[in-house]
Amino acid sequence: MNWKETLTRHGYRITQPRIQIMRLLEDAPTALTPQQIHCQLQKQGGNLGLVSVYRTLELLTQLELVAIVYDPQRNPGYMVSSTGHHHHIVCQNCNQAYEFSGSDDIDDLIQRVEAETSFEVRDHLLQLYGLCPDCQTHNH
């Protein structure tokens, strides 16, 4: 199912701001901050305000159409999300982010943490950092 179908299925209209932000994120090689999204849309001739960018990202994140990804300095950015459970790995040099699948992969860890802390784990965020193949090649 594509993002337009997801919006419609949940009772949301396909507005111009949603189209602009999703198109921008679909074409972005790295996760973008709300400020970067706002700036790029302004350069493209858009007149979308920063508050509207934040509101749209909040909705798209809630619907799991975009994911929050943290750069190596732990600043949040947004990128298009695929369906299913997944995590991200981010290049510490060029900030490119890649998804990788995962759900059962950390069940043992969650069970151990619950046993050690008596917490009930309800959600998690797993993100890895390293050097992408291109940056590895250029650093050697």
Instruction: State pLDDT tens for residues 33-92.
Output: 999 999 999 999 888 899 999 999 999 999 989 999 998 888 899 999 876 677 888 899
The predicted model scores a pTM of 0.76
Q: What mean pLDDT do residues 100-104 have?
A: 70
Cα separation, 140 vs 134, whole angstroms: 10
User: Per-domain residue ranges for the chain?
Assistant: 3-138
Beta-carbon contacts of 2 under 8 Å, excluding residues fewer than 6 positions away, are: none
Average pLDDT taken over every residue of the chain: 89
pLDDT at 124: 79
DSSP 62-90: HTTSEEEEE-TT--EEEEE--SSSEEEEE
Region of poorest pLDDT, from 14-18, 60-64, 94-98, 103-107: 103-107
Q: Does position 140 have pLDDT exceeding 70, yes or no?
A: no
| Tokens read off for 69 | 């990804």
Tokens 């929050």 appear where?
68
3-138 is classed in which CATH architecture?
Orthogonal Bundle (1.10)
Cβ pair 6, 22 in contact under 8 A: no
